[in-house]
Amino acid sequence: MFRGRGRFGREKSVTLVHNGPHLLHSMPELKAKVHKRVATRLAAMGVRILYNQRADLSGVTTAIDPRTLDEAKQGDSAHSHTSHVHVNLATPITVPLSGGESVHGNVVVFCGGGRVNNSAYRTSLSDAMDNHGRLRVDNTHAVQGHPSLFAIGDCCDSPEPKLAALAMEQAKFLVDNFTRMLKGKALKRRKFMAPGLVFIPIGPRDGVALFKGMVLGRRIVTAVKSKDLFVKRIRGEMFTSKEAKVVP
């Protein structure tokens, strides 16, 4: 949405409702300067930000995806990084906020955040789950109490940010360890790490980056990530051709 806003103009008002004291509060590795710069960039684009408030979507009945209302009411999603859209072009939608205020708009986007999708294991592996629904793993990524099962990415509790780049590193690590298992060798143990470089795009021509404690500006973000959000790179790593390969 913000990519489109930066590209196609600002004739429509945008209000961002956030339940934390600042944006990106779920990423403690980011400096306060990063939070402030992101907020400043969005404000310059005309985005109004309301902090420490929650939106009540229980009365909104215009969801494109019918799962939206149930998930919003439950306050817990079965889908990772849940995002759904409500649209009513004829009459503005009213959304009450926890602070007593209400916001109005023709398009409401519900972003539930990075809630892990644990529907596949929440029953059978409940003994190995933490309070956030993630699987507890050791430094081989083996699931606690289940040495033949391994977990990576959003569903594991490794003390690292939940970023695609780190999940891909975890996958490569597991492939190497699986090869070692087939050869009868001992498993390697992984050293959990923080990302050396974090990109936060804000539209196609803006953003903020954090590199080894240094806060960098829009030029490096635009040159490296904002153009295509790494889609071309990730596609190239996942597939050997432009067409997706279906594995039977």
Would you state the pLDDT for residue 79?
A: 36
Tokens of 68: 């939206």
80 near 117, Cβ under 8 Å? Answer: yes
Residues 6+ positions from 204 with CB-CB distance below 8 Å: 3, 6, 7, 222, 226, 227
d(CA 196, CA 97): 37
Residue 231's SS3 state is helix
Average pLDDT over residues 71-87: 51
Average pLDDT over residues 198-214: 82
Rounded to the nearest angstrom, the gap between the alpha carbon of residue 2 and the centroid of all alpha carbons in its chain is 15
Q: What is the helix (H) or strand (E) element at residue 170, kind and residue range?
A: helix 164-182
Average pLDDT over residues 144-162: 91
pLDDT: is 242 or 146 the higher one?
146
Number of C-beta neighbours around residue 141 at 10 A:
22
Average pLDDT over residues 132-155: 94
* Single-letter amino acid code for the residue at 120: A
Strand partners, 110: 84
Average pLDDT over residues 70-84: 45
**CA-based R_g, the chain, Å:** 21
**In Å, what is the CA distance from 155 to each residue of 24, 27, 47, 110, 167?**
20, 17, 32, 22, 10
Would you state the pLDDT for residue 58?
A: 81
Would you state the pLDDT for residue 75?
A: 43
* Single-letter amino acid code for the residue at 158: S
pLDDT: is 74 or 89 the higher one?
89
209 CB-contact burial (10 Å; exposed 0-12 / middle 13-18 / buried 19+): buried
Average pLDDT over residues 157-184: 90
d(CA 103, CA 138): 45
